[in-house]
Amino acid sequence: MSTWQRFGVAIFWTIGSMIGGLLYNEVFLAELLPLVDTDGQFGAPVVWLEALVPLILLALLAAVWAWVIAGAVQDERRVDARRVRR
């Protein structure tokens, strides 16, 4: 995969993560979280979701950008190896 295609995938994931964060903030935190009783039966899972969703979005975004950087480095190493061999 070329660097530009990899960069396009990363931009797509970045925009998707932004939309996911916006939905999380506007729907879950602003509208649904105030409706949940934290002492009730579903209080613990809601508290876990409140903490995990931003971390998951951040981890996915960091993994995609690390993939972009690692792919570019591997491509450059392959080009250098081809130049040395000839």
Instruction: Please check whether residue 16 lies inside any domain of the structure.
Output: yes
Separation between Cα atoms, residue 55 and residue 49, nearest integer Å: 10
Instruction: Please check whether residue 7 lies inside any domain of the structure.
Output: yes
Query: Domain span at residue 18?
Result: 3-80
Report the domain count for the chain: 1
Instruction: Please check whether residue 85 lies inside any domain of the structure.
Output: no
The model's pTM: 0.78
Instruction: Please check whether residue 86 lies inside any domain of the structure.
Output: no
Can you give the pLDDT at residue 80? 65
Q: Which residue has the higher pLDDT, 41 or 63?
A: 63
Q: pLDDT tens for residues 43-77?
A: 888 888 889 999 999 999 999 999 999 988 877 77
Query: What tokens does 19 get?
Result: 């939309």
Phi-psi region of 27 (alpha: psi -120 to 50; beta: other; left: phi over 0): alpha
